[in-house]
Chains A and B, each alone.
Chain A
């Protein structure tokens, strides 16, 4: 039994959501305030009771006007007086319980205003015995008062509101009858039936919401079934519980339902507008939906405007929307609409009941996802060092990577500048652990990689590395990285940091769904390794100082890899370079990653070692004209757009993207192609700047002929450099183009080769 818990939604397959208010009543005791329960139920027995309906009279929103049941609860449950004098207004016998409770509590009930002409039930009789004045056939013409109830004006229900008498009071207790709470029944499609006698919709037991087995999986008990009197409610609940137990395979005990003392209640009388002939002024003050501010006049206007469907009327007026979910407004609103359309309520039907039954806090739904654990944060084995050494982080997927390592009072730009200069002139270290690493193995692995990459991977000799591009079927670039051939059957594919899981999923998708008979296994070993790029003219000296492996040019040439032990660490050393410098990327087991980094930093002191971050990495690769997935590509760029035709095989019969690239639009010579851009004044082109063309388009906007994809200040060249895509770009070397600036105006730049630094690649191959 979960107390303080509300089932707020019923979904397919018996899925029920409930909100437990764990500690709302004991704030600050260390417990969570709310807890959402996700329940998979065989059967749901909704004993949700019934809701009292307001009556539509002018001023039924003035503070002090309450539902009769609410007044009774205040008095009986909480010993709170709604006011010295409470006028009760009703169309049924139940409200007399409120009048009796008030009088028995020593409060005054000046009158019960009953819309019915004949009032003969047990409860009215008892009220009369207590000396309570009962006015039959009467209605409230209007409530007096602005900020609080001061009194009510009484009129005849049959009339148009001519005031017979005014009664002073502080509160009005109203009851327009009761409607079963059918929300949980209805969320998954349970149908309703109109009950003429009680003027409400109740669940239709022959049309329950159906589960996967075609059986109804929600049942209702008691007042929720429409059994409003105590004895009927008990009998109904008894039967429903037995049926539910049986449906779950239980054996309910034989026995009769518990009995309740019978009170005979006279039939209620449907009253939708009070008085029945109320004019426009009064109808504009009769609230149907208090939460969404919808009045009788609004629904009548909707009908006049031609809204016949109740769902349309709901949207036109906002009747019963959002937090209300039809609780207060539903029947009264439908009845007014039916009256305006001159039809019956069942013909109008109801709007859709949607979860949640009442609002649930976002905090309850978010659960544990707050503060430090709002979102998973991925950390490399070296993350702790970065934190201890003042790294300024940037998000890369869910990873946090050091953007730069500011020292002293350095700005980020100054730190990046220093990191680039130091790496190019001495020695830099980059934590490259986030790079994706996927093992691909099997007799068909070469054939598989030839399909995935645009270039040949099957011919890569064991011990060597090759840069490769991956496209989607459309021919657009999707990922890139260096592939190493580990042995005859095994390749290791490096992916981008953000792409590891996606590319692994992509591989498995093709292997499991399309080429299921190919003998290939993959494993994502990204996190098995810490990977460190040791970069710069002193890189070899550092590795030699650590010792254990021959890392000379002869033993380990550019674009090869070797396994060994470096300074006592199990290492796989790749001679690859994303910076254009002499560079080794070294993978060690993640569990030794931090110790390895520390060893490199210690041994590197004499060679001028400094760590560098992602921004220095970006600048150095841009200086070399290396593309970056996500900068030069955005899902609409092909390898040919980036002049990477050399990495697109012409020999292979097929690969993913081959046919896509051959389509007319993708092979169009008019496409924008990669160039380098150098501003004439040395300034840095703005991120995302367009290269303008003469004239304007149909919308009066400047025509464009290209855009910038990467733009940086180059510490090496001491000027702004950029890469961009330009129409006929490679054919326009030396031309000057104009690029937009956010403040207006343009900046002039020369079209140049995108490789700004060491075109021959001599520095990385030493």
Chain B
């Protein structure tokens, strides 16, 4: 099998914060009735966490799930486990109306780390970072393109965008993190 390459091959920029393109990252879009016992147990066995509540994300040791809409979850897992997990999900959800698809390669993932990470993102996203709790996921935008983001560690945010605009999002983050662009 050919080696999977992330959208920007791990590009980095150090400015007022550090911006890292990471991946390849395993991601599965799961659509279904999130309140059903079958979906709950399928999610638990696939990524080891409970179905997150509205707008919440739980990721533990590289596995987890984020709430994307009333009938959609983002499952987060190591890249090379996606195929096996899809097969498991398929079995667990047999007979249940649900959709699970691999979207790992459809995305670009960034980490923004540093004391000013919220400030760098606040310049690009219509998100009130002062009230964004750890464990809370926002589907929002970075400037002109869709993005999902959450605080993945203290002073660190994970930003997920579409792969085709990975370069654009990286350039946005780089511009926002330029030295001299500090807000306070």
Contact = CB atoms under 8 A, between A and B. Distances in A.
Interface of A: 29-32, 35, 38, 40, 367-369, 372-373, 375-381, 398-399, 439, 441-443, 519, 521-523, 525-529, 565, 568-570, 589-592, 594-596, 599
A594 B9 CA distance: 12
B4 interface: yes
Given A368-B124, A569-B2, A373 B106 contact: no
B165 interface: yes
B104 interface: yes
Contact of B1 (A527, A570, A594): A570
Contacts of B7: 590
B180 A521 contact: no
A525 B172 CA distance: 24
B99 A591 contact: no
Contacts of B98: 521
22 contacts: A29-B180, A30-B180, A368-B123, A368-B176, A373-B168, A376-B144, A376-B168, A378-B164, A381-B163, A439-B99, A521-B31, A521-B71, A523-B29, A523-B31, A523-B101, A527-B106, A528-B104, A589-B102, A591-B4, A591-B24, A592-B2, A592-B4
A380 B164 contact: yes
Interface string B144-164: 110000000000000000111
A369 B178 contact: no
B142 to A, nearest CB: 9
B101 A439 contact: yes
Nearest to A40: B128
Contact of A369 (B6, B102, B143): B143
A529 B98 CA distance: 22
Contacts of A399: 164
A83 B14 CA distance: 54
Given A30-B178, A32-B181, 17 more contacts: A29-B180, A38-B126, A40-B128, A368-B172, A372-B171, A376-B143, A377-B167, A398-B165, A441-B99, A525-B101, A526-B106, A528-B104, A589-B102, A590-B163, A591-B104, A595-B2, A595-B5
A22 to B, nearest CB: 9
A581 B113 CA distance: 51
B147 to A, nearest CB: 11
Contacts of A30: 178-180
A569 B4 CA distance: 10
Interface string B114-152: 000000000110101000000000000001110000000
Contact of A519 (B6, B24, B97, B103): B97
Interface string B62-74: 0000000001000
A31 B180 contact: yes
Interface string B25-68: 00001011000000000000000000000000000000000000
A519 B71 CA distance: 12
B103 A525 contact: yes
B84 interface: no
Contact of B3 (A372, A381, A525, A595): A595
B95 to A, nearest CB: 10
Nearest to A32: B181
Nearest to B166: A379
Nearest to B31: A521
Nearest to B1: A568
Given A443-B97, A521-B98, A376 B106 contact: no
B105 interface: yes
Contacts of B183: 35
Nearest 10 CB-CB pairs, A to B?
A591-B4, A30-B180, A521-B99, A378-B164, A590-B105, A527-B106, A528-B106, A31-B180, A521-B31, A592-B2
Nearest to A437: B106
A170 B99 CA distance: 82
Contacts of B11: none
Contacts of B4: 589, 591-592
